[in-house]
Structure 1
Amino acid sequence: MSADRSGRVRAAIGCAVLAAAALLTSCATGTNVSGTDETTITEAAARTEQHDLSYTLPGTLAADFAELQASTRGTIGLAAMPVGGTSALSFGTWSTGPAWSTIKVPLVLAAQRRAPGTNTYAATAAITESDNTAADALWQSLGSGQEAASAVEAVLREGGDTTTTVPATRPRAEHSAFGQAEWSLADQVKFASELPCLSGSAGVTSLMAEIVPAHRWGMGSIAGADFKGGWGPDPSGGYLVRQFGLVDGPAGQVAVAFAAKPDSGAFSDGMQTLNRMAAVLAAHLRELPSGKCRR
């Protein structure tokens, strides 16, 4: 390493340490700030990046997630932001892929808005049991494939997701059209942060609190979590396993989205990785900014 580069690295580390020290000092003063405005230790660790230098404070979510990633045979990603917030924290290298059954959340909301009070059984089964037949019935209740896709996209847009598109027909014939929508963690966590604030969403979020025991792994191990999982194989048979939802924080709720794509391709390995990610998340919930609906 050149003397100039060495000096820049030392300077970057010094700045990071000073920033962390200042943050810790401010935390000790007892300054009263809102859950959505407070800069936490985790945020400082995630933001402190200088060129190819990434600095994380030991004991933070950023550091523990990096340790988890290093010990995982596969690709993982996590995003979190406060309900009603405007910016997200993100960790890991996995960023986007098929929504699979997580897209059933906006699908159910779209169907319930189209016909309030109907399809109660289908909505319950689609969310709590991830029942594909029930979800297909809700999709068909929205009209043609294009009409159904547009209805689900409208819910996504209302939730702040400005980019995700839902296919009107099945890209792969053996899987539902809606489940094959490409849904990034960044867009998904933004939608989750607005979900409880959307008109008519209380019925959907209440179902997300009633996931059947067989599916209560990952976020399901966190007390009080409202969540929905999704999983499915790529054309070669390798599974992607993902979840998103809401967990309780100090000043409201935290929206979370995470995913795992194990090198083995096995669903069971993805599920176990999400269990480990949830444990890391649960240990650091008080570090994460939380919030409430602004309207």
Structure 2
Amino acid sequence: MRRLAWVLLPLCVLAGCSSASDQPETLHTEMVPPPDPFEGLSDVVAEIERETDTEVGVALYDGTVLTQAGSLTSLPAWSTIKVPIAIAAEEHCEYGEDYIEELTEASIEWSDNDSARALWDCMGDDAEAGKKVGEEIGKAGKVVEVQGAFGTTDWSFADQARYAYYLSTRDQDQTVIADMHRITDDQAYGLGQLGIPFKGGWSDVDEDGSWHTRQFGWREGVGIAIGARSAAGSYDDTMDALDKVAEAIDAGTDPRADATAAR
């Protein structure tokens, strides 16, 4: 062992060996995740439901994380489905380009039903058109079975938020997306207050007398889908609810803030 020690000594000198006390201290950095801007959203939405006497659904998707709040997870698509109809028609409809743009403008900007029906009919019978519109929605990764009475198609808020995120990654000068920036003033409540591309849909429901209002759009890389149902059949109450939800999203809800900050 003495001989081995003598052999190692010159090696230490040549290699610049140092004692443990001479080694630099290792720095330990604690990784702290960034704050969730929508933490506390469920509490705020629950308060909005109580204030407006409505049921509310909210979904937000940033390409990775899905955030949901409210007592609703889905509603019929109503006129929000005019967006994928118009985009699918651009690809599959044989009308002239100018006429397609004219129908798209009316379908999106002021939600004209006859124009949306013309775009739908141009893609074939109900089964063919439904398949093409479903494929357009499916580009976001979730397939939706589109019915012939296309406005009554069930479209969950989660799947619509994913589709909204997908649209946020597309060319923002695309005709349909550009029209979503020009929604008529009388429909510009809720997400329309935020200056973002969006589309709304609404209807009463004969079976139970309720009223539904929903919207979807995107902001800063986050797909947004929101909706409200009034069991009493009040359009005004659903608009009020969506106004408050949009304000909460705009604020990036803070769990330490009073829920009334969303009012």
> With structure 1 as the length reference, what TM-score do the two structures score?
0.69
Matches within 5 A, 1:32-111: 39-42=34-37, 45=39, 60-82=40-62, 85-111=63-89
Please say if 1:263 is aligned against 2:231.
yes
Equivalent position amino acid for 1:40 in 2: P
CA deviations 1:148-175 (Å, max 9, x no partner) are 111101101112222x21113xxxxxxx
Distance 1:193 1:270 in 2: 24
The structure 2 residue matched to 1:281, chosen from 249, 254, 257, is 249
Equivalent position amino acid for 2:224 in 1: V
CA deviations 1:35-79 (Å, max 9, x no partner) are xxx653346x4xxxxxxxxxxxxxx43443333234331210111
Matches within 5 A, 1:228-243: 228-234=199-205, 235-243=207-215
Bigger Cα displacement from structure 2, 111-120 vs 207-216 = 111-120
Distance 1:39 1:71 in 2: 31
Bigger Cα displacement from structure 2, 193-202 vs 67-76 = 193-202
Which consecutive residues of structure 1, in runs of 5 or more, have no partner in the other structure?
Answer: 1-24, 28-37, 46-59, 169-176, 288-295
What number of residue pairs does the alignment pair up?
222
Note the C-alpha offset of 1:199.
7.5
Distance 1:285 1:42 in 2: 6
Distance 2:209 2:104 in 1: 29
Aligned residues of 1:42 and 1:62 also touching (Cα < 8 A)? no
Distance 1:143 1:121 in 2: 19
What is residue 145 of structure 1 aligned with on the other side? Answer: 126
Which consecutive residues of structure 2, in runs of 5 or more, have no partner in the other structure?
Answer: 1-29, 256-263
Note the C-alpha offset of 1:217.
0.6
Note the C-alpha offset of 1:263.
2.8
Q: CA 1:41–1:26 in structure 2 vs 1: closer, same or farther (change >3 Å)?
A: farther
Query: What SS does the aligned partner of 1:41 have?
Result: coil
Please give the root-mean-square deviation of Cα atoms over the aligned residues, in Å: 2.4
What is residue 4 of structure 2 aligned with on the other side? Answer: none
What is residue 97 of structure 2 aligned with on the other side? Answer: 117
Distance 2:159 2:105 in 1: 24
Equivalent position amino acid for 2:80 in 1: T
Please say if 1:136 is aligned against 2:117.
yes
Matches within 5 A, 1:145-294: 145-162=126-143, 164-168=144-148, 177-198=149-170, 202-223=174-195, 225-234=196-205, 235-248=207-220, 253-284=221-252
What is residue 293 of structure 1 aligned with on the other side? Answer: none
Q: Percent identity?
A: 31
Question: Which has more radius of gyration?
Answer: 2
Note the C-alpha offset of 1:200.
9.2
Aligned residues of 1:113 and 1:200 also touching (Cα < 8 A)? no
Aligned residues of 2:74 and 2:154 also touching (Cα < 8 A)? yes
Q: CA 1:90–1:201 in structure 2 vs 1: closer, same or farther (change >3 Å)?
A: farther
Distance 1:147 1:270 in 2: 34
